[in-house]
Amino acid sequence: ERMGTIFANEVIVISEVINDLLVRKYGRRDCHLIYNGVPEPEVCDYPEYFNELGIEKGKYILAMCRFVPEKNLHHLVEAFAGICASDYKLVLAGDADFEDDYSRSLKKRSRECGVVLTGFIKGRKLHSLLANACCFVLPSSHEGLPIALLEAMSYKLPAIVSNIPANMEVGLPYSCYFKVGDVEQLQEKLEEQMEQGLCRIKYDMGLYNWDVIAKQVIDVYKLVLQ
């Protein structure tokens, strides 16, 4: 990291959070901020898969990420477990790259709380979950640029996310954020969203358009060649 940052002709960073890190650690102040992109959403239904999972369209909360401690999925599970008499389900899409004590305990607690675990999924299964969720939740304590959040935004999902710098940088309305690690506040946000029911939000995704990003990257390479 140090060698690459100091000696590269040009450096691309994917968020202001990482840019600030390289300034503080290595004094590199001329990095190019180019966000990662998200593809156009593939909105679809998959009734057979929903029947298999035991969920209904618009009646589930979705989180998707690796099962690692910094994603704080255990906080989401506990917040959901505290909600009484709900006909909503919590769906966790993802798994651990390598099974460890954390992932095992997370899965055990999730099953006790009636959480739906999909494992790693992609394609139509993932697209259908994104297209029909009530909302998307990202309770992380650390992110560089939250790609999963950007994907959820491309599907116009309401979002409930922790107030860490990388999530704040996305610029969601203030009401979408909760204090990182505050399970009680997260539970309140979930209850508010479930009360509101199914809705969709049109976000400005211009910064995450792959055509724009490709042009920005080409410009950096041209700068090096000059």
CATH of the domain at 191: 3.40.50.2000
Q: What is the mean pLDDT of each run of 10 residues along the chain (226 residues)?
A: 95 95 96 95 96 97 97 98 89 96 97 96 97 97 94 98 96 96 97 92 94 96 94
Rounded CA separation 63/76 (Å): 9
Say whether both 26 and 55 belong to one domain.
Answer: no
Residue 202 forms part of a structural domain: no
> Using CA atoms, how far apart are residues 13 and 22, in angstroms rounded to an integer?
9
CA-to-CA distance for 117 and 111, rounded, in angstroms?
Answer: 8
| Predicted structure pTM score | 0.92
- The reply to whether 95 and 173 lie within a common domain is yes
The tokens describing 189, both together, are 């946000």
The answer to whether residue 15 is domain-embedded is yes
Cα–Cα separations (whole angstroms), residue 165 to 29, 85, 172 = 19, 34, 12
Q: What is the reported pLDDT for 84?
A: 83
What string of DSSP letters covers 149-218? Answer: HHHHHHTT--EEEE--HHHHHT---GGGEE-TT-HHHHHHHHHHHHHH-S-------GGG-HHHHHHHHH
Which residues are registered as beta bridge partners of 63? 92
Which tokens go with 47?
């009734």
Side chain identity at 1, as an amino acid letter?
E
**How far apart, in Å, are the Cα atoms of 86 and each of 68, 83, 156, 194?**
27, 7, 23, 9
Write out the two tokens for 112. Answer: 């006790």
Do 171 and 102 share a domain, yes or no? yes
61 found inside a domain: yes
Q: Please, what is the angle between helix 101-112 and helix 73-81, to 10°?
A: 20
Averaged pLDDT of the chain: 96
| Structural domain includes residue 42 | no
Q: Which residues pair with 92 in a beta bridge?
A: 63, 117
Q: Clarify whether residues 147 and 173 are in a common domain.
A: yes
Domain containing residue 175: 47-196
226: amino acid identity, one letter: Q
User: How many structural domains is the chain composed of?
Assistant: 2
pLDDT in the model for residue 86: 78
